[in-house]
């Protein structure tokens, strides 16, 4: 480790900045954003535009035209040089002679400290450094961390800071209380989950109650998160879904959740398959509910991971009701439902101005079968109908829609294994729907019926092939 990462209180003194140009302005913005009082030595008098670019922050700024001498550096907390190499070398020598930390931008050999890439969440700050060898790599790592760090984590840290003294007073009545374990329960349990989900007042009230009841606090329950995994592509996981997976103790997952998504969970999380495979009995919903409750009451952080969205034909509502009635804290993390993910991959707009102003999501997997669905409610010519779990019921869907008045010539598509490797999209007319469904192989698959199908990429490609085939036939007939 070439540089020791530390955090300086730059608001407690003066920082010298020398140089001009975009790099100097960037450092000026950074220094002032943490409340530093900056004395800027600019090489020219025309600094109005650069001052405007630097923005308005808490820190003060004074400007001197010229180069700082040793007397100017005396008493400074740090020196930053962003200019020509000769300026950087001179300032580095002067600062080091006075024992003042110095950074020369892009010159780690002249610097005694370097600026890391920073993820700023208020009271939580993450610094990433590469020893000055690759700032671009540090920025890329910062982007990765930005993606997984909850937006409210800094506010959560500020909340815990406000209640540290109150907990210390409560501990006087419970000397065996472990502060580490208490805060672990706050962070990993319902209080942390509530705060990061935006229920901040509820979380603060629960924290107050937890502190006040520490002398006789009962064993705390875990939580259950109902998480949507999206249509299959792991890159379509939401940030909150990813964060929840990485905090889980146990994950109950469906058949539609692939290994690429499970790989992004915490490495030591227990994985429990509770899906249903074709030809196998599978686990009943009552047993799934019981296991979720049992794991949460044992104090574990539980994720119920479902393909798509938990509340779109995923039985998430039933699980929510059951767990809430059992007193288990439950949080819902929505996912990108298959209709959105698969349609986007196919370039198929589910609504279109002046053409489709209504979207119907229907499941063919009902107790009495697809033939029992009231298709008259979905035969509006200005509607797009998306049928979930309809691959083996395509004939019933076709007959039901045509019987309800939908023209047999209505464009239709079957989108199989959408967003996954090996995805397949076939298009045709409603009258051909069973043949289309039979041509895609195994599911999962969606049936899409509506005029907007004619705007999809598969439809356009099929039309181009048809025209090309007709041209070829004409050429062969003429020859």
Q: Which residues are annotated as catalytic?
A: 254, 276
Q: How far apart are CA 372 and CA 17, in angstroms?
A: 75
Assign 3-class secondary structure to the chain: CCCCCCCCCHHHCEEEEEECCHHHHHHHHHHHHCCCEEEEEECCCCCHHHHHHHCCCCCCEEEEECCCCHHHHCCCCEEEEECCHHHHHHHHHHHHHCCCCEEECCCHHHCCCCCCEEEEECCEEEEECCCCCCHHHHHHHHHHHHHHCCCCHHHHHHHHHHCHHHHHHHHCCCCCCCHHHHHHHHHHCHHHHHHHCCCHHHHHHHHHHHHHCHHHCCCCCCEEEEEECECCCHHHCCHHHHHHHCCCCEEEECCCCCHHHHCCCCCCCEEEECCCCCCCCCCCHHHHHHHHHHHHHCCCEEEEEECECCCCCCCHHHHHHHHHHCCCCEEEECCCCHHHHHHHHCCCCCCECCCECEEEEEECCCCCCHHHCCHHHHCCCCEEEEEECCHHHHHHHHHHHHHCCCCCCCEEEEEECCCCCCCEEEEEEHHHHHHHHHHCCCCCEEEEECHHHHHCHHHHHHHHHHHHHHHHHHHHHHC
Q: Which two tokens stand for residue 158?
A: 């500020």
């Amino acid at each position: 480790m070439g540089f020791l990462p530390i955090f300086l209180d730059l608001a407690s003194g003066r920082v010298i900045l020398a140089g001009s140009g975009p790099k100097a302005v960037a450092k000026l913005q950074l220094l002032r954003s943490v409340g530093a009082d900056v004395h800027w030595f600019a090489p020219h008098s025309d600094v109005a535009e650069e001052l405007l670019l630097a923005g308005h922050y808490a820190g003060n700024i004074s400007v001197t035209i010229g180069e700082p001498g040793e007397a100017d550096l005396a008493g400074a907390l740090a020196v930053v040089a962003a200019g020509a190499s000769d300026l950087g070398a001179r300032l580095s020598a002067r600062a080091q002679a006075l024992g003042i930390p110095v950074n020369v931008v892009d010159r780690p050999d002249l610097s005694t400290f370097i600026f890391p890439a920073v993820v700023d969440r208020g009271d939580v700050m993450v610094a990433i450094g590469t020893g000055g060898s690759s700032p671009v790599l540090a920025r890329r790592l910062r982007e990765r961390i930005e993606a997984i760090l909850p937006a409210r984590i800094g506010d959560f840290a500020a909340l815990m800071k406000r209640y540290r003294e109150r907990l210390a007073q409560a501990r006087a009545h419970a000397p065996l209380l472990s502060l580490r374990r208490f805060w672990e329960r706050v962070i990993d349990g319902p209080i942390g989950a509530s705060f990061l989900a935006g229920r901040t007042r509820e979380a603060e009230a629960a924290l107050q109650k937890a502190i006040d009841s520490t002398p006789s606090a009962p064993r705390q329950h875990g939580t259950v998160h109902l998480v949507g995994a999206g249509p299959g592509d792991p890159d379509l996981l939401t940030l909150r879904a990813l964060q929840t997976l990485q905090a889980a103790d146990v994950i109950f997952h469906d058949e539609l959740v692939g290994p690429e998504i499970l790989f992004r969970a915490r490495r030591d999380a227990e994985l429990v398959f509770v899906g249903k495979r074709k030809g196998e009995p599978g686990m009943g919903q009552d047993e799934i509910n019981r296991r979720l409750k049992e794991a949460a009451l044992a104090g574990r952080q539980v994720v119920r991971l479902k393909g798509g969205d938990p509340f779109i034909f995923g039985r998430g509502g039933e699980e929510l009701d059951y767990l809430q009635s059992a007193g288990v804290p439950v949080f819902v993390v929505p996912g990108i439902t298959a209709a959105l993910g698969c349609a986007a991959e196919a370039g198929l707009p589910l609504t279109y101005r002046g053409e489709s102003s209504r979207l119907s999501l229907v499941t063919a997997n009902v107790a009495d079968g697809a033939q029992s669905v009231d298709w008259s409610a979905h035969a509006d010519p200005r509607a797009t109908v998306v049928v979930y779990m309809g691959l083996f019921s395509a004939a019933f869907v076709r007959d039901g829609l045509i019987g309800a008045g939908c023209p047999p010539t209505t464009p239709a598509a079957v989108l199989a294994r959408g967003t996954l490797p090996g995805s397949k999209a076939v298009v045709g007319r409603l009258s051909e729907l069973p043949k289309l469904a039979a041509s895609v192989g195994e599911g999962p698959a969606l049936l899409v019926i509506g005029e907007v199908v004619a705007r999809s990429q598969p439809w356009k490609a099929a039309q181009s092939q048809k025209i090309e085939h007709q041209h070829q036939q004409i050429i062969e007939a003429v020859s």
